[in-house]
Amino acid sequence: MKAADYVMTKHFLFLCLGFIVPFEAFGQTQEAKEKFQYKAPQFLYEEKCSKCHTLERVFAEPKTENEWRMCVTRMMEKSPSWITVEDGARIVDEIVRGRKDTIVATSQTKKYADVHLLFIDRCTRCHPVNRILKQDKTREEWQETILRMRENAPELFLDEDIPVLTEYLAERGKMMRDDVAAQIMVEKCLVCHEVGRILLERKSKKGWEDCVMDMRVLARQKFQKDWFTTDEFKLIVDLLVKTQGS
């Protein structure tokens, strides 16, 4: 092969490779974009409510239309800059008009309320509510706990109470933990930071652990006391990972 022909062939191969690699990379980029494409929330309640509660928790307990209005109003009072009056009206309208499964008869709501009152009456005589709700237990572990409590106070726990309380704590324990964590977030995090600073961020579990730990150290240096207990630290991180994990 002549030297000139060799040079032309070499240049042609480089040109071909130059086209092939970008097209292959373009295909991978497109595939990655399709795989990790961000899905914008369809409803305002998805954006606003899911930042402190999982949507599973938000819709766990069916409510009447009036109860939804009271619930959203309470959330507005906790963080008026995150949920404005206009936002609150729109959220209620979206839920009432679009989620008929959340509107129930009073009798169904009363059934839940009765079990809740049983829990308050039996369990909180000796223990603070937060101590109970922070526990992360299986159904079997809750039953074992209740039976152990009955040994200490047999007059408080009838035989028919055991399965009712066990089911209540097993089914709602995870959601109630989220409630406790959300309240802690309002009291401990939003007192210093604008809501958008926290509620619009996304991090890995390690990222949130580092972030909350930094705040814990900073508060200790500034206030000379622990701002987050160990339990509160874990609850906050767990909630942030569930609602704003990367």
Render the burial of 43-73: b for 16+ CB within 10 Å, e for the rest.
ebbbbbbbbbbbeebbbbbbbbeebbbebbe
- Where in the chain are the domains? 1-37, 44-102, 106-188, 193-246
Residue 163: both structure tokens together: 């399965």
Taking the C-alpha atoms of 81, 86, 88 and 93 in order, what is their torsion angle to the nearest 10 degrees? -160
Write out the chain's pLDDT in tens, 246 residues: 444 454 445 444 444 444 444 444 444 444 444 444 445 667 888 888 877 777 777 777 778 888 889 989 988 887 788 889 999 999 999 888 887 767 665 555 556 567 877 888 888 888 877 677 667 788 899 999 999 999 988 888 888 888 888 988 887 777 667 777 787 887 778 777 776 667 778 888 899 999 888 888 888 888 777 787 888 888 888 888 887 887
Non-local (6+) Cβ contacts of 198 within 8 A are 185, 189, 190
Answer whether 215's CB lies under 8 Å from 185's CB: no
What is d(CA 50, CA 243) in angstroms, rounded to the nearest whole number? Answer: 6
Q: What is the DSSP letter of 81?
A: T
Distances (CA, A) of 215 to 90, 140, 194, 205, 240: 34, 36, 14, 15, 14
Instruction: Give burial (CB, 10 Å; 0-12/13-18/19+) of 96.
Output: middle
